[in-house]
Structure 1
Amino acid sequence: MRILLTNDDGINAPGLYILEKIAAQLSDDIWICAPSEEQSGAGHSLTLTRPVRLRQHAERRFSVSGTPTDSVTMALKKIMPEPPDLILSGVNRGANLGDDVTYSGTVSAALEGALAGVRSIALSQVYSREGVGNAVDFSAAEEWGAKVLKPLLDTPFAPRTLVNVNFPPVAAGEVKGIRVARQGFHDYARGSVVEGTDPRGFPYYWFGLHGIEHTLGNNTDLEAIAGGFVSVTPLQIDLTHEGSLASLADRYLT
């Protein structure tokens, strides 16, 4: 089985090395193509206004001067001799839960794989943001990654779907198990914009992640993570709201 690894935290991110360890339990045919620098929050963006540079670090290890979507595109169209059987994106430093998936470069890399018809899975390690800095504990992802992935390898994926996996912010031995859960939602009205002044006296603004309310619901990914479980959520690329089609069509009848 040929596996492509990517992420949005960059080619040198600790989570990517964790993902390599996880993938090595599944195959020895592993390829890596990731952004050269961190691209968190890049979503499903594609670089169009400047050239994308490709750099080779080792036999099957590459980076691109672009987004996670660029990385997957370059891997599929320019780097790999044959398409991969599986694309794994992550392990992201931080949660990709609820409607955060719309911002996530990690999830979007898997989305790009799904669009190309490749079985694709995004993986993220949730952590407490208070005073953590770079010291994120990836032990839950490292210990539970292969356990989560192995049942998915021969599970049929519907066309244009992907799977989003999140590991709870606890030590590996404290993980309670795995839950398949639907996507939850956040209250972004409680988010913040942090204002400051740079050394030259000019104002700047930094989007804050604190204060966003987690709206827990029955069987959501947010609820699973809060309970100490690994969350596994199938996502579909088709965002059409079926229930609104008929009512909107009625508006245009003459």
Structure 2
Amino acid sequence: MRILITNDDGVDAPGIAIMVDIAAALSDDVWIVAPDGNQSGAGHRFTLGRELSIEERGPRRFTVIGGSPADCVVAGMTHVLADRPADLVLSGVNAGQNLGDIVHCSGTAAGAREGALQGAIGIAMSQAIDYERSHAVDWSNSIRFGTDVVRAILAARGQDDVFYNVNFPVCSPNDVAGIAAVPHQRFSRSAFRYYPSDKDGEFFVAIPETPMPLDSNADFEVLRRRNTITVTPFALQQTEKTALQRLAGLSLSPAGQS
């Protein structure tokens, strides 16, 4: 199995080294194509209309200067590995959880999504942080369970048109309750808000609080309250079928009529 690794924290981030160890337990054909710097929140952005460059950092290790995770997967699958694209794209391990609607803007998730769009199996992996206590990352659960999680997904998957989003809880490995396939948390509103800066007239786009209420069976609460590794499959075909049927009778009024 040929594996391509990317992330959104940058090619030198500690999480990518953990992902290399996860991949090395699965295959001896492992490649890295990752951004040269932090691309958190980049989502599925492509760098269009501006030239990019690839720098080789070592054997099977490349970085895209100024590129997003999606740029890196495209460069990896269609250029670096053009002779035989990867079978599996692993994105992460991200420093911090990617849950609920926040996945829509996640560069980590986008790396796995673009991998799946390119024809590979795409798996995004994130290590949760308890931000109320500290911003430090304890990678223990990613290290202990990462390879087993990938193996479990590979064993259970069918021909579904999806990519997978995985989150590891904040707890001792001995306290991990197991692994569960769960839906993502659909928030009651966007989690992102205007957040004023200390500098007059300036502001941040931030997540000052989690929108409530939360579904006890969705990824956010299962990860946080049950100490469970969460796996969520996201569909690549995003058309909402019920709405499509409801709109099937759409028509335009003849000119001049209201």
| Normalised TM-score (structure 2) | 0.90
Conservation of the 8 A alpha-carbon contact between 2:191 and 2:207 = no
Residue number in structure 2 paired with 1:125: 127
Looking at structure 1, the residues matched to 212 and 12 of structure 2 have their Cα atoms a distance apart, in angstroms, of: 31
Looking at structure 2, the residues matched to 169 and 186 of structure 1 have their Cα atoms a distance apart, in angstroms, of: 22
Looking at structure 2, the residues matched to 147 and 167 of structure 1 have their Cα atoms a distance apart, in angstroms, of: 12
- Per-residue displacement from partner, 1:181-210 (whole Å, max 9, x unpaired)? 112122445654222255xxx632112223
Q: What SS does the corresponding residue of 1:26 show, helix, strand or coil?
A: coil
**Cα distance change on mapping 1:189 and 1:29 into 2, 3 Å:** closer
1:43, CA displacement in angstroms?
Answer: 0.7
Point out where structure 1 has 5 or more consecutive residues left out of the alignment: none
Residue number in structure 1 paired with 2:244: 245
Conservation of the 8 A alpha-carbon contact between 1:68 and 1:109 = yes
Residue number in structure 2 paired with 1:161: 162
Looking at structure 1, the residues matched to 41 and 145 of structure 2 have their Cα atoms a distance apart, in angstroms, of: 25
The total of aligned residue pairs comes to 250
For 2:108, which of 106, 109, 112 is the aligned residue? 106
**Cα distance change on mapping 1:214 and 1:180 into 2, 3 Å:** farther
1:32, CA displacement in angstroms?
Answer: 0.3
For 1:222, which of 201, 220, 241 is the aligned residue? 220
Looking at structure 1, the residues matched to 212 and 20 of structure 2 have their Cα atoms a distance apart, in angstroms, of: 31
Conservation of the 8 A alpha-carbon contact between 1:168 and 1:228 = yes
What is the Cα-based RMSD across aligned positions, in Å? 1.9
Name the aligned partner's letter for residue 208 of structure 1.
A
Q: Percent identity?
A: 38
Looking at structure 2, the residues matched to 190 and 67 of structure 1 have their Cα atoms a distance apart, in angstroms, of: 23
Conservation of the 8 A alpha-carbon contact between 1:6 and 1:32 = yes
1:169, CA displacement in angstroms?
Answer: 1.6
| Normalised TM-score (structure 1) | 0.91
For 1:85, which of 83, 87, 92 is the aligned residue? 87
Tell me whether 172-181 or 202-211 shows the greater mean CA deviation. 202-211
Tell me whether 210-219 or 100-109 shows the greater mean CA deviation. 210-219
Name the aligned partner's letter for residue 177 of structure 1.
G
Name the aligned partner's letter for residue 221 of structure 1.
D
